[in-house]
Structure 1
Amino acid sequence: MAISTSDYLSATNPELKAKKFTLTIDGGYEASVITYGAVITDLIVPDKDGKPTDIMLGCKGLDEYMGNGANHGAVIGRSANRIKDASFVIDGVKYQIPKNEGENNLHSGNPGYQNVFWDGKMLSEEEADEIILDSKIAGIPGCDGGAVLLSYTSPDGATGFPGNLDTKVLYCWLEDKTFLILYCGKSDKDTIFAPTNHAYFNLRGENAEGTVNNDLIMINSDKITIKDDMNVPTGELKDVEGTVFDCREYRFIGELNDSDDHQMVISKGIDQNFCLNTTAGTFSFAAAVTAPESGITMECLTDLPGIQIYAGNNLGSPLDIKTTKAYGQYDAICLEAQLVPNAVNLTGFDSPVIKAGKKVYHACGYRFV
């Protein structure tokens, strides 16, 4: 296993510079992350013929990532996804955050995790394993070689959220070919800590022709959260049995995107939170995607109770290109392990609020089988 580092420079402003870390393990597995937005820029795995295949959509460079409305590969937070009316109450105090999607809030705002520079450093395998053990999330295999640790403190009042929130993200390969994202948050006030990663995957390759509609998806879920016409969960649950949302066995992604179910129509394709049959505190199977053409199968594992499945319904901006292919609608699939969106305003779901002084971990991993 090896880790290399390099400067990741702006093409237009010499004062803007991120650092890039590349983590490589035996078998042809490689991941690159940068300190801007904690972005995963590349994820290279072998296809069925052993050909290295970059399955991570992205942007051309730092300038493009900084203007990246699609949040390619970025850590999202403090609060991923949507909060209704861009407001919430903690300890009897009402907080107002930016209304950046109609009357609601999407992905916290600016500055959020996805649009700031993080500090980054390399860790040894032993140091990474200590952090994994400290998380007390059961079932995470050991680190394969070293790791990268990114750190950022979101200041009290940033986009309206309370508390100085110290955040760390550990990236590493695990012994079973899982690429791990381990989040840690600790605040000096009660606040929301509900991160995710907005990676866009195409298991045939980020520059492959065609959409992901002919790839297959499986989701370990019996229920979805119903969303209103502005894509915000209402608190209502719906059984997937007998619906297009029943992905407990593999089905084509295109069946979801082409459905006339009103939930799909609202979002122009799949963009839905599934309530997972995961076990709290355990690194559990959440979902899988397989691409018959490349032979690549990727599983998603997490301790979190929800996963947002999104098929790049709104891709198509001039910045949505990394190498040779300009991305468009349905050119990717996102498996965003998360807390249930808008849970801060709902009952019956795990709360995104963490108590002051308490360290909280969440994990998401992408395993190649």
Structure 2
Amino acid sequence: MAVRKELVGETTKNEAIYAYHITNSNDAEVVVINYGCIIKNIFVKDKSGNKVDVVLGFDDVKGYFDNSCFLGAAVGPTANRIANAKYTINGKEFTLPVNDGPNNLHTDMDNGFHKRVWDAEEGDNFVKFTLNSAEGDLGFSGNRVFSITYTLSDDNALSLHYHATSDADTLVNMTNHSYFNLGGQASGSILDHTLLLNASNYTPVIDSAAIPTGEIASVKGTPFDFTQEKTIGQDIAADNAQLKAVGGYDHNYVIDEADGTMREFATLSSPKTGIAMKCFTDLPGVQLYAGNFLSAKDAKGGIEYKARDGVCLETQFYPNSINEAGFPDPVFGPGKEYDTTTIYQFV
């Protein structure tokens, strides 16, 4: 096990950007950068023993300065959508940028945590990133300290451990927005990938704004049913109002028997490479996003990513949970630290 630090550029504010290469005994390698806690590369071996990069991204870190599709990014302090870009905690209303129709998406496109340089601490097989965020920053309460620790084990499990403390009640709902393509980042569509989701229910959305209705609906008999393994492409073009509203899969799934303990919630596989990814989390939900509107030029190797060239499995509290009484509570503060782990294991 080893971690190698490499200077790879600087921000427009002349802040140094470092890449941290974490390797294990199986010759797997994860590359993360201190800018946005971005997962830049994940190299694992395919069925022929060739190393394959299975996440979308950029060779030049300058590509992440725009990154409108959030490739590889740690999104925070709150991911996904908040209705009308406002919420209330303890009787006080907070407002966020209106950046997705009338709503808020992923906190702030230009100033969110994915656009900041984090402090970094290296270990034998991990990198811990830390960021301080003061009262009022980005429209949130509390003086907060956030950390994300990326750990690569010898059994090819990449662990993402999130932690935050706050001196006041505050909203926290972070995620990682990596786009996976287990056929290789340059291999095109992920519609041939097979997916198994241990989620018997999902949260339907109102319309193209993708705000949940508040209902928790069964997937049985619908195109949203991945409780039996099938390809992502099998039903994505079905005549279904929910799919048409957001151009395909871009919905929150309710993980079965989620009780705050670690659960295996998904298996994603590529027939091209034989690479499979098992997914675990202690969170209650996961956003399946099939890259319906993915677009990125000058990506790795100079290629252009197009719609459905990658798929996201974003663990989370449900979208707009803060405004839905029946959804899991994403408020943390004194006496209630934010502490959660998601694991992607490549087999």
Per the normalisation by structure 2, the TM-score is 0.96
Aligned partner of 1:330 among 308, 319, 326: 308
Corresponding residue number in structure 2 for 1:133: none
Please give the secondary structure, in 2, of the residue aligned with 1:269.
coil
> Where does 1:1-369 land on structure 2 (aligned, <5 Å)?
1-10=1-10, 15-109=14-108, 110-124=110-124, 146-208=125-187, 210-229=188-207, 230-318=209-297, 321-356=299-334, 358-369=336-347
Quote how far apart the aligned CAs of 1:19 are. 1.2
Distance in 2, Cα, partners of 1:278 & 1:182 = 21
Distance in 2, Cα, partners of 1:300 & 1:290 = 11
Residues 99-143 of structure 1, C-alpha deviation per residue, up to 9 Å, x if partnerless? 11111000011422111110111024xxxxxxxxxxxxxxxxxxx
Distance in 2, Cα, partners of 1:148 & 1:366 = 16
Please give the secondary structure, in 1, of the residue aligned with 2:138.
helix
Whether contact under 8 Å (1:278, 1:303) holds in the other structure is no
Distance in 2, Cα, partners of 1:81 & 1:4 = 32
Quote how far apart the aligned CAs of 1:359 are. 2.3
Distance in 2, Cα, partners of 1:14 & 1:194 = 28
Whether contact under 8 Å (1:270, 1:309) holds in the other structure is yes
Runs of 4 or more above 3 Å deviation: none
What is the identity, as a one-letter code, of the residue corresponding to 1:310? Y
Q: Where does the alignment leave 5 or more consecutive residues of structure 1 unmatched?
A: 125-145
Quote how far apart the aligned CAs of 1:14 are. 8.5
Distance in 2, Cα, partners of 1:302 & 1:202 = 20
Quote how far apart the aligned CAs of 1:15 are. 2.0
Whether contact under 8 Å (1:197, 1:336) holds in the other structure is yes
Whether contact under 8 Å (2:199, 2:227) holds in the other structure is yes
Quote how far apart the aligned CAs of 1:28 are. 2.2
What is the identity, as a one-letter code, of the residue corresponding to 2:182? L
Distance in 2, Cα, partners of 1:3 & 1:167 = 22
Q: Structure 1's 278 and 22: CA in aligned 2 closer, same or farther, altered over 3 A? A: farther
Distance in 1, Cα, partners of 2:248 & 2:44 = 27
Whether contact under 8 Å (2:223, 2:236) holds in the other structure is no
Please give the secondary structure, in 1, of the residue aligned with 2:253.
strand
Quote how far apart the aligned CAs of 1:60 are. 3.1
Whether contact under 8 Å (2:69, 2:295) holds in the other structure is no
Distance in 2, Cα, partners of 1:337 & 1:354 = 17
Whether contact under 8 Å (2:297, 2:303) holds in the other structure is no
Whether contact under 8 Å (2:26, 2:154) holds in the other structure is no
Please give the secondary structure, in 1, of the residue aligned with 2:23.
strand
Quote how far apart the aligned CAs of 1:173 are. 1.2
Distance in 2, Cα, partners of 1:102 & 1:13 = 29
Whether contact under 8 Å (2:3, 2:123) holds in the other structure is no
Distance in 1, Cα, partners of 2:59 & 2:46 = 23
What is the identity, as a one-letter code, of the residue corresponding to 2:112? G
Whether contact under 8 Å (2:25, 2:154) holds in the other structure is no
User: Aligned residues: percent identity?
Assistant: 34
Quote how far apart the aligned CAs of 1:175 are. 4.4
Distance in 2, Cα, partners of 1:243 & 1:13 = 47
Paired residues in the alignment total 345
Cα RMSD, aligned residues only: 1.5
Quote how far apart the aligned CAs of 1:366 are. 0.3
Q: Structure 1's 282 and 87: CA in aligned 2 closer, same or farther, altered over 3 A? A: same
Q: Structure 1's 111 and 165: CA in aligned 2 closer, same or farther, altered over 3 A? A: farther
Distance in 2, Cα, partners of 1:26 & 1:98 = 45
Whether contact under 8 Å (1:218, 1:248) holds in the other structure is yes
Q: Where does the alignment leave 5 or more consecutive residues of structure 2 unmatched?
A: none
Quote how far apart the aligned CAs of 1:237 are. 1.6
